[in-house]
Amino acid sequence: MAAKTFPIEASHILMFARSVGDDNRVYADADYAKTTEAGGIIAPPTFPQAVAQFDPDYVLRPKPGKPWFGSGKNPSGVTREASGGGGGNGGGLHAEQHFEYHRHLRPGDVLTATTLPGKTWEKEGRRSGKLIFSETVTEYRDQGGELVITARGVGVRTERPVDQQ
């Protein structure tokens, strides 16, 4: 799969930390961050997920001139069969996420993310019919080519929406 370039920027870290309710100033205040063990602004642990912003083909972002499956005039902008990634009957859910930090990310880093396909397996689910799991491993290397983060995600597609019991 294609490698993606992921520039790590202070304003993006600030917004991401806010969105997870993390008011630690090490993510927001450069002067304060210098006085901490981190020695400067770092990114919160789950920040690598925001690489989605830099994936030109990311399916869960509306794109100009392209159909979008969310609601507008109608409950969905496309027919269910064509809705593709995410959501609903037969849709995809995030089952697991794992990170290994070889070092922590800093503004100014420019990462290259390389996603490798992983295993696929099936299981009979109690609340949603057959479950199809698929794993992806993403390696994030910095501008010097050093491996900084290894991420492993597991997605699951279900036969029907998960029963709410």
Partner 1 sequence: MALKASKLTVGDTHTARLVEDLKRTQLVQYAGASGDYNPLHTDEVFTTQVAGYPSVSAHGMLTMGMTGKMLTDYVGDARLTKYGVRFTSQVWPGDTLDSTATVKAITDKGGEKLVELDVKTVNQNGVEVLSGYAEARIDP
Using CB under 8 A, list all residues that contact partner 1: 12, 15-16, 18-22, 24, 26, 36-38, 42, 44-46, 49-53, 55, 58, 60-62, 69-71, 75-76, 80, 83, 85-89, 91, 93-101, 104, 152, 160-162, 164
d(CA 111, CA 7): 6
- Least distance in Å: CB of 145 to partner 1? 21
Dihedral angle at the C-alpha atoms of 81, 72, 15, 115, nearest 10 degrees?
20
For residue 118, the SS3 value is strand
- Least distance in Å: CB of 153 to partner 1? 9
Beta strands in 24-160 (DSSP E): 92-101, 110-125, 129-141, 147-158
- Least distance in Å: CB of 54 to partner 1? 8
Quote the Cα angle for 94-146-102, to 5°.
55
Instruction: Tell me whether residue 49 or residue 112 sits nearer to partner 1 (CB atom).
Output: 49
Instruction: Tell me whether residue 87 or residue 112 sits nearer to partner 1 (CB atom).
Output: 87
